[in-house]
Amino acid sequence: MNHKDFFTSVGGLRMPPIIYGTAWKKERTAALVEQAIGLGFRGIDTACQPKHYHEAGVGDGISNACQRYGIDRAELYLQSKFTPLNGQDPERVPYNPNAGLSEQVAQSFLTSLKNLKTPYLDGLLLHSPLANPKHTLEVWQAMELIFHSGKVKQLGISNCYDLKQFEFLHQNAEIKPAVIQNRFYADTQYDRHLRDFCREHRIIYQSFWTLTANPHILAHATLQALAAKYQRNPAQLFFRYLNHIGILPLTGTTSASHMREDLAIFDFELTAEDCDSIDRLL
């Protein structure tokens, strides 16, 4: 990928235009992360949530890749998440569940730094809003303290599908969210109103479950015809389209060939007309 393909967040942080997601990789995590970086991924997404992520495996994979391929930590965009208690496995909570919310955030963050073998994170996301908006703000303020310490470069939130909820956070936050990461699917009308808000405030919208949730789009005649036109597969066309409209997708593939295909989307450009034809499918 070229420098022009990178996204720049509202805080001026440069982010690679596609990120490798590490959920549900379990014992394969380290090897897959090492492979992804070796093939060219420079963005890694994880979470301090043992229920779905092997964060220490991500750290091992990054460490191994940096040593093997001579890559400096500064070349990578690394983001993790604080997962509230209701999203954790009660038997494997990575912080003291009886501590206050602010202390839970602090403990989770220190666990992430240890797991990932890094002195800082590029991004720290709240894994999902809490049921009580005041508690969401309390967690966010604890994340802001970490930001002010210089150990994280930007903050964000994931699994936030209510525009009013996101506007409330944006309005009340001292450090505004630079990233929102959501499942990209028809059930939420592809977050059109949220994405409009993001464009207005220069917030990076990251998509996950991007291919899995959209087999009907990948199989649509429009995408099939464009795939033939560009001599690419439908997944490549969809990822490239998302980049063109300002969306940064995650991919969690375990296939080396699919990793290569995902990284090859920067070898071609779609026309505005082609993007419009795909947009009509959403």
pLDDT value at 201 more than 80: yes
- Provide, rounded to the nearest whole percent, the portion of the chain with pLDDT above 90: 98
Give the single-character DSSP code of 85: G
User: At residue 4, does pLDDT exceed 90?
Assistant: no
Which residue type occupies 106? A
What is the share, in percent, of the chain residues with pLDDT greater than 70?
Answer: 99
CATH superfamily of this structure's domain 7-211: NADP-dependent oxidoreductase domain (3.20.20.100)
**Mean per-residue pLDDT for 34-47?**
98
- Segment 153-167, tens digit of pLDDT: 999 999 999 999 999
Q: Does the pLDDT value for residue 3 go beyond 70? A: no
For residue 138, the one-letter residue type is E
The stretch 43-47 carries a mean pLDDT of 98
What angle, 0 to 180 degrees and rounded to 10, lies between the N-to-C axes of helices 163-172 and 192-201?
20
247-251/19-21 β-pairing = parallel
pLDDT digits (tens, 9 = 90+) for 74-121: 999 999 999 999 999 999 999 999 999 999 999 999 999 999 999 999
pLDDT (tens digit per residue) in 213-236: 999 999 999 999 999 999 999 999
Question: Which residues fall within 8 angstroms of residue 263, CB to CB, at 6 or more apart?
Answer: 1, 18, 39, 40, 41
Structure tokens at 199: 């464009």
Q: Mean pLDDT score of the chain, rounded to an integer?
A: 97
Q: Domain boundaries in the chain?
A: 7-211
**Residue 135: its H or E element:** helix 133-148
CA–CA separation, 201 and 176 (whole Å) = 9
Question: Which pLDDT does position 5 carry in this prediction?
Answer: 86
Task: Locate 61 and state its tokens.
Answer: 């994979």
Quickly count: other Cβ atoms within 10 Å of residue 50's Cβ: 18
Q: For residue 12, how far is the Cα from the chain centroid?
A: 17
**Of 204, 167, 196, residue with least CA distance to 10:** 204
